[in-house]
Every structure is written in structure tokens, then in C-alpha cells.
Chains A and B, each alone.
Chain A
Amino acid sequence: MNASTKRRSLWLLLTPMLLWIGLLFVLPHLKLFYLSFISRRGGEFTFANYLYFFQSPLYRKIFLRTAVFSILVTALTLLISFPLAFIITKVAGKRLKMMLLLAVILPYWVSELIQAFTWMVLFRESGVLSYLLQMLGITHHNIEFLYHDTTIAVGLVYTSLLFMTIPIMNSLDTLDDSLVEAAYDLGGNFWSTLREIIIPHAAPGIMVGSIMVFMLNLGNYVTVTLLGGKNSLWLTEIIYNQFIIRFNQNKGSAFSVILLTFSVIFVWIMLKITKQDLSEAM
């Protein structure tokens, strides 16, 4: 096979992928970007859509809230996933390993929507949790667990768990057990070994997991609106409102671009802070 046929077949193989990305990702985003600088009425170039967002205290608050909330949920997910991944890869025997893996993967066999509905069945005023508490005599009236920030956090952590656990498992899998033994042998204890050996080794996995989970949280709509109700105050919700309820594509586009830009910048900063290379992390 000569070089030109080789190159041609390479392009042929890449075509579906390129079409997919080009038509369904790049093109719509270009259009989004374009629309965000166009005024709704006159159709001329304007910054008004962006100014509108940043001049509104409510939108600024929502923006900040979404960002901070996503970061917190990501941290919380990491806190739960890391020990879990460690147990699955390094501690558990074959049976326990399978069971834990299934427990992590199983929820993803149903859609996020169904997951959220399940949480609603558990948490609503006449729901399972409320009923249980009354049966145990802890309280004597119905309690509404839905529409709190905690409920949103629980739902988000739950939907994120897999995306954090799997990459960390991957990186912990390659950790040579004798490194941990060596650290102990040289006088290390649990914390110093975790800090100096295990976490640095798992850093790429932690980074990949955190980026994925952060993006998923930032862009989450279903879980947030179903568990948080109308007042969940999430950025995706106001984008939805602009597009679907107010038919304002231009403002919606501007808000989307803000969301996108923010997540890209945030990931970039995170990579810089942890001195990781994106190519290395992936």
C-alpha cells in the first residue's frame, strides 16, 4: 500500500467521526456563538445579550451558585469515589469487587430521568423516607425532603459517581503495590503514604474524573430541575427558559457561551494548578 492510498483510507475511516463532530458539535456552536452577538429585534451586532446577563444581580448570583455548587459536588464525589475506587482495585477480593462494581454501574442502566424520579419517590412529602421516619416515631408529620440544596447535591453526586470512580480505578490499577509497601517500610504511615505516593500516582485519574464530573454537573438539567424544583436556580435552567419559554435564542445563546467559556477556563485553571498536561491526564 503506498502512502497516498494509506492516507486516503485513513481519511475515509475518520469521515464518520469528522462529520459527527463537524455537523453536530462545531457547526451548532458556531451558530450559537454568532447568535449570541445578534440583537433579537434588529438583527444587528450587539453586546447587549452579554451585558444583560452580567448586569442582572439574579443572573450573576445564579452563575456563581451553579459554579460553586458544581465544584462542591465534584469535591464531594471525589471524597466518596476515591476510597471506593481504592477498595475496588486494591483491597476487595474477587466477589466483593464484582459486587461493588455492579453497585456503581447498575444505576446507569436506567436513564438519569428515571433515577431522578426514583429520588422523588423517596424524598417527596408523602414519600418513602418521610413515611419511614414517621413509622419509627422520629417525627409525626410529613416532611418535604425535595427542593432543598442538599437534595440536589445528593442527586448530582449519585449521577456523577461512576464518572469519577472509573478513571480513578484505572489509574490506581497501575499503582504497584510494592510502592505502598516501600513507603511503609521507610517509616511512612497511612496519611503520608496517601499524600505522597497514592494521590500523586492517581492524579491523572482524579483530574479526568473531576473534569468530567464538573462538566456534567455544570450542564446538568434533569436532576437539578426535578429534585430542586422551579427554584433550583441553575444556569442551564435559565438557558432553557430563554430558549423554550421566552423564545429568545440570542440571550439563550449568550448564556450558553458564558457557560461554555466558564467551564473551559475552569478546567484550564485546574490543569495549571495541578501541573497536569491535558494530553497526559486523558
Chain B
Amino acid sequence: MSPEIDVGLVNVTKKFGNLVAVDNVSLEVPKGSFFSILGPSGSGKTTLLRMIAGFEVPTSGDIFIGGQRVNDVPPNKRPCNMVFQRLALFPMMNVLDNVTFGLRRRGGMSKAEMERRAKDALARVGLQGLEKRKINQISGGQQQRVALARSLVLEPTVLLLDEPLGSLDLKLRQSMKLELKHLQARTGTTFVYITHDQTIALAMSDTVAVINHGKIEQIAPPEELYRRPATHFVASFVGENNKLVNGKVVAFQDEEKVEVDIAGIRMLGRAGEALSVNDTVDLFIRPEMITVRPGKGENGILGKVSEINFDGSHSLVIVSLLESKQPLSLNVKIQHTENAPDLKIGDLVTLSWRWDAANAFLSMAQPHIEAEA
């Protein structure tokens, strides 16, 4: 494994009885990068993180940290530290003792040196003067910082974060999100962050791995993930989308550019996976990528404004398509810029988009109800 890779998973599988929580996952986290693992709850992302931390042992496959195979290394000997979902700060200790806990376990350092390093780490996360406070005497955001400092003070090769922002309120989450990103850039520590919140994953990460049912769906930088999803799941899970179901592939204009018939309307799109003519596909179109022109125009799809939802910086306009065989509507996001069209309910509009703003994937079979206990 190359030295530039801090965490490497090779064909890692984890089974709990009959349940396959993580299914043959391989991934590489480059040194110094912010790597997110994004997936819905129950997708196996927590199990994945716990295997890296050492709390779960993979059923098969190998885990490498900093080039070393760590399958048989217990969690207290691994060069990685974890920020827990519920933070797991020690309520029986004050802030300073929480942060020095790891240093005390490591030993070989004077008490003054430990305190100096702990204060240093606390300063790095912007927390000073609270050293003597008990954990229940500081706010949620401050606790977050203590948890970060407690791990960072040990200068781990990799910092694992188990969705620690989940419990914060929206405003605090937004500001912590940016801070975390800055902190990562400043310290250069490799971050592995797991979350079900795509806005966090997209905003903070260098690379995002999308996981579903224990399998990796796509590993890509956020922008690629957003613009060029690799699977049906990624297209529907990441970002907002218009999902037009059960279209038929009519023709290929080139390798990627595909013509799809949806309820009698021809639409252009990008083939997200290998498709052939007559395949049944779903088409995903980003609401903000659709251009709206008032009136009946050329080269577009005719529709009528049926709803306008004002949302501050933009409006969500729902346009029902006039030429479709079945009732069909598209959500369109309009930024309130100078030349934004002035729309009213009932207006005739023409919709269009660049071909690669729409992604086509084979329709999934209806999700069958699994025999779950």
C-alpha cells in the first residue's frame, strides 16, 4: 500500500449472523484528505468506521492504517482516534482531564507538558479558559470542541468522526461544519467522516464514498458525485432531483448522450450506466439546472406554472408538462437574480436543460418487501 494512503480497506466484509452489514468494500483514503462516507441509516457506514477504529473485526478482508495492516491491532493500539456520535466525553472529569486522558495513558511525559499540549489542542479548536469546567457545565458546541481536542491532542494518523454534528441545532451545525473543514486543512490530519447528511458531506469533503446496503456505490469528489452520479442510488440520494420514472431509451446520439421517451415526450440525457435501446430507465434532472423561458418557445418542453414556493434566495416552481400522455410535472429552482423570469401561476413556460444535466439509469425493480423481523 502506498505511503500516501492513510486508510486502506481491501475487500472488507462484515457479517452479523446472516446480516451482511458491510459487503466487500475496498477504498483508499489519501493522506491529509477529508474523506466522507455518506449513506442512509442502516447502510453499514457506522460498522465500517467501527472496523477502522478497531471495535469490530472484519469477517474477511484487510484494513490498513498508515501502511500497516491493523486487523489484529486492538483499538487502544491503533494510530487513529474517534470522535463519537454522542461525543462520549467523560462526565466524571473536567475539560482538561478529558483532553489529557489519552496523553496520561501514553505516559512518558511530564504533567506540565501534558497540560501544555492539552491547552494547545483546546486553543486550536477555539476553546480557552474552560479547562476546569465539568462537561455538563459547557454548551453543546463547546462539548463538540472538547471531543475534537481530546482526539487531536494525540496527533493521530487518522481522525474518525461518527457524525458528531448530528446532535447540534442547524445554526451551530453550519458554523461547526466550516470550522471542522478549516481545522482539517490547518492540522493536515486525515479525516474520515461518516454522515447521512449529504449537505455536510458535499460541503466538507475532498472525496465522498456513497454506501448503500453495505456496498460502495461511488467514490468521487463532491462535484463529480453531484454532476455525474454513477448509480441509480447515488442519483436519487445525493441532492435534489426530479425523478421521471419508466422512460424508454429511443436512440443514442453518441456514447453518453441518450434520447429518452418519457410519457410521450422526448428528452435528452446522459447515460449514467451502460444502456441499450428499449431499456426502461428513470431520468434524474436537477431542479436548478432547468432553464425556464416564459411563453411557448423552440427546443424545449412546454409547461404551465402550477405552483410557486418562495424560499428566500430562490423559488421552487412546479411546472406541469402540457404535452405528456400522463400528468407529469417538474420542479424548477429559480435563483432570484436580476434576469430571473417573473412568473405567475398559470403562465405558459418552456423548459430546457443541457443534455448532461439529466442522468438516465435503468429503472429499479419495485422495492420488494423483505421478510424482516
Contact = CB atoms under 8 A, between A and B. Distances in A.
Interface of A: 176, 178-179, 181-189, 192, 196-197, 200-201
Given A179-B90, A197-B92, A200-B92, A185 B105 contact: no
Contacts of B101: 183, 186, 188, 196
A127 B53 CA distance: 56
B373 interface: no
A185 B90 contact: no
A280 to B, nearest CB: 13
B92 A201 contact: yes
Interface of B: 53-55, 74-77, 81-82, 84-86, 88-93, 101-102, 105-106, 150-151, 154
18 contacts: A176-B88, A178-B85, A178-B86, A179-B88, A182-B88, A182-B90, A183-B101, A184-B55, A184-B75, A185-B54, A185-B76, A186-B151, A186-B154, A187-B77, A196-B90, A196-B92, A196-B101, A197-B92
A249 to B, nearest CB: 49
A192 B105 contact: yes
Given A182-B82, A187-B154, 13 more contacts: A178-B84, A181-B75, A183-B90, A184-B75, A185-B53, A185-B54, A186-B76, A186-B102, A186-B105, A186-B150, A187-B76, A187-B77, A188-B76
Nearest to B101: A186
B105 A188 contact: yes
Nearest to A186: B102
B92 A189 contact: no
Contact of B76 (A176, A179, A184): A184
A120 B283 CA distance: 83
Contacts of A200: 92
Nearest to B93: A196
A94 to B, nearest CB: 15
B106 A181 contact: no
Contact of B55 (A179, A181, A192, A201): A181
B102 A187 contact: yes
Contacts of B105: 186-189, 192
Contact of B86 (A176, A188, A197): A176
A200 B92 CA distance: 7
Interface-centre pick from B82, B150, B151, B154 (highest chain A CB count, 10 A): B82
Nearest to B150: A186
Contacts of A201: 91-92
B84 A187 contact: no
Interface-centre pick from A181, A187, A188 (highest chain B CB count, 10 A): A187
A188 B74 CA distance: 11
A178 B88 contact: yes
A176 B89 CA distance: 10
Contacts of B91: 201
A91 B81 CA distance: 24
Contacts of B90: 179, 182-183, 196-197
Which 9 A-B pairs have CB atoms at the shortest separation, nearest pair first? A186-B102, A187-B105, A182-B88, A200-B92, A178-B88, A184-B76, A184-B75, A185-B82, A178-B84
A196 to B, nearest CB: 7
B146 to A, nearest CB: 12
Contacts of A184: 55, 74-76
A184 B50 CA distance: 13
Contacts of B76: 184-189
Contacts of B85: 178
A187 B106 contact: yes
A182 B150 CA distance: 10
Nearest to A189: B76
Contacts of A192: 105
Contacts of A189: 76, 105
Contacts of B54: 185
A185 B89 CA distance: 12
Given A178-B86, A196-B101, A185 B92 contact: no
Contacts of A179: 88, 90
Contacts of B92: 196-197, 200-201
A144 B308 CA distance: 94
A192 B86 CA distance: 22
A187 B80 CA distance: 10
B151 to A, nearest CB: 8
A200 B91 CA distance: 10
A200 to B, nearest CB: 4
